[in-house]
Amino acid sequence: MLKVKVRSVNMGGIKFFAALWLARICRFLINLLAPGRGTTLPGSLALKIDPGFIGHFRNIDLNKVVYITGTNGKSTTTNLLAAILKKANICVAVNLEGANLAAGVAVTLLSHASLRGRFLAEYIVMETDERFLPVISRYLPPARLCVTNIQKDQVQRNGEPDIIYGKIVESLKAETVLFLNNEEPHTVSLAALVDKSIFYGVEENAKSFVKRGFFTTTMPCPRCGAPIRFMRYNIDNIGSFACSRCALASSSAPAYFAHNIDYPAHTFMVGDQTYPLPYDAPYFLYCYIAAIAIARDIGVSPEICGAALADFVNIDGRLEEMKTGGKTIHYIRMKQENPETLQSALNYIAADQRPKIFLLGLDELVDFHPHYTNTFYAFDCDFDKLIDSQVAHYICFSGTVAYDAANRLVYAGVPKDKITVLPTNDDQAIITEVEKFDCDSVYLITWLYKFKSLYKYLQSR
């Protein structure tokens, strides 16, 4: 039983109230004048006035603060957990729009507070950016912290996974209850740092795979540095594993284990309970089981978890479709600086054995300054399953890095006469090329902004 701790009246005084009211006015004006834009601006304003803002609300039960962090799966897990708690009639403050930096957390809290700073929701469920977790936790520590995975990501600012690992470790207290991905080595190693960890995992299933190629690489053990060995993968770099030297390993029976996964029937089981499987890409399973684990620990019944899953609609922009002529373009989002999402996208496409066109739009990286042309994570990915899945033709487009993407395909064994290289980002040129081919299924991997641009172009035709 967690000790009850309710935040006391001492909240930061005048600065807090000034921040709260000015931020609310700012939010009102934004909603009036430019709805949907600058959604975290009120939070930024609040933090500027009172840097400890998020820790100064009254009536927050610290036992009911849940953060979800990690490289991938934060948003889906957060959204599903919030949906489950709402289904259970629990009032929850959640940053659904993925605003996971301190300003986003601030906006979410002020949206659920009275003018006098009294917090009005029961639970706080926040997706938190890994780098900002120590800052956010300093002011509002979580009783429950879910770490979905720690992988190579946004290398231009993060450098290496160990830097993110350190940020997460920095935010831990011994009493934090961790929810950890049983099949991801970095997260499993965090268990040694707290008093209590709850593991969740996914059984080997029809979409699990092994890697045997000569050029297969894994990762160093986060504990001792020796190579990690994966017995099988459920998704890239996540699966049943053991360190080749120390005792770090996945468990065969984590507390919450998705098993009997039936993709055609869209169901899976946890314990004796059968749950619906709304989206059957394997990486979603980890989001579902993580949300179920946290919800069950909070006290929500399996039936309510299942009901929430049945109604669950994921956030936009992960898997989408658009039409052109008689063709369906299936879009899968990827993060160019995170090889696991690119590999998951490739594996998803490869599972469809029908003839297809493969459209790859890696691009310049413009999230941070300086903008640059990193495409090297394509070499962390395996393309052989994709190549074996009846790809009639490959099209690589980008104003700058189309030839690098095409070269990766050549390295994977695709003959050049099956590749079209478009050194452009022009929507018309891309669609015109796609329409040349007599194949009604197209799979597109590119950035979300590019998908939206192509979608808008097709809508306008």
Partner 1 sequence: MTGTIKILWLYPDILNLHGDRGNLMALERIAGLLGLPVEIVRVETPDQALPLESADLLMLCSGEVKDMARIVSDLAEQKRALRRFAAEGGYIFAIGSSGAVLARETRRRDGNVFGGLDLLPMYCRERDSVWGDDLWFSRNDTPGAEIIGNQIQVLDIELVEPAQTLGKVIYGRGNNGGQDEGCRAGNIVFTNTLGPLFVKNPRYTADILTDIANRRRLQPLRQLTPCDTEYEDKSFVLIKHFIEKKMA
Sheet with 391-397, side-by-side order of all strands: 319-324, 327-333, 441-446, 356-361, 391-397, 419-422
How far from 202 is each of 1, 238, 252, 286, 317, CA to CA, in Å? Answer: 27, 10, 10, 7, 24
Crossing angle between the packed helical segments 102-110 and 41-49, to the nearest 10 degrees: 90
Nearer to partner 1, 78 or 336 (CB): 336
Shortest Cβ 18–partner 1 spacing (Å): 32
| Nearest CB to partner 1, comparing residues 396 and 434 | 396
CB-nearer residue toward partner 1: 118 or 416: 416
CB-CB contact of 125 with 144 (8 Å): no
Nearer to partner 1, 295 or 406 (CB): 406
Minimum distance from CB of 243 to partner 1 (Å)? Answer: 11
Q: With the C-alpha atoms ordered 406, 407, 411, 413, is the resulting torsion angle positive or negative?
A: positive
Nearest Cα to Cα of residue 260 among 289, 290, 239: 289
| Exposure on the CB side of residue 162, measured as CA atoms within 13 A | 7
Shortest separation between residue 184's beta carbon and partner 1, angstroms: 16
CB of 404 to partner 1, least distance (A): 5
Task: State in angstroms the smallest separation of the CB of 400 from partner 1.
Answer: 5
List Cβ<8 Å contacts ≥24 apart for 16-20.
16/50, 16/52, 16/53, 16/56, 16/117, 17/117, 18/49, 18/50, 19/45, 19/46, 19/47, 19/48, 19/49, 19/50, 19/53, 20/46, 20/53, 20/110, 20/113, 20/115, 20/117
Read off φ and ψ for residue 284, nearest 5 degrees: -70, -30
Q: What is the CA radius of gyration of the chain?
A: 23
Closest-CA residue to 92 (of 112, 72, 75, 116)? 112
Q: Which residues bind partner 1 (CB under 8 A)?
A: 152, 155-163, 214-215, 217-220, 225-228, 244, 339, 364, 368, 370-374, 376-380, 399-404, 406-407, 410-411, 416, 421, 423
Cβ closest to partner 1, residue 159 vs residue 325: 159
Rounded Cα gap, residues 345 and 446, in angstroms:
10
Integer Cα distance of 40 and 27 in angstroms: 9
Q: How far is the CB of 339 from partner 1 (least distance, A)?
A: 7
- Shortest reach from residue 169's CB to partner 1, in Å: 12
Closer to partner 1 by Cβ: residue 226 or 310: 226
Whole-number minimum distance, CB 152 to partner 1, in Å?
7
Nearest-approach distance from CB 433 to partner 1, in angstroms: 17
Q: Which residues contact 216 (CB under 8 A, 6 or more apart)?
A: none
Residue 13 vs 159, nearer CB to partner 1: 159
Residue with smaller CB distance to partner 1, 38 or 220:
220
Whether the CB-CB separation of 68 and 81 falls below 8 Å is answered with yes
Whether 45 contacts 26, CB under 8 Å = yes
DSSP one-letter code for 459:
H
Task: Considering the complex, state which of residue 160 and residue 272 has its C-beta at the smaller distance from partner 1.
Answer: 160
Closer to partner 1 by CB, 228 or 350: give it. Answer: 228
Q: Is 393 exposed, middle or buried (0-12, 13-18, 19+ CB in 10 A)?
A: buried
For partner 1, the closer of residues 55 and 339 by Cβ is 339
Find the shortest distance in angstroms from Cβ 340 to partner 1.
Answer: 13
CB of 6 to partner 1, least distance (A): 37
Determine contact, residues 358/386, Cβ cutoff 8 Å: yes
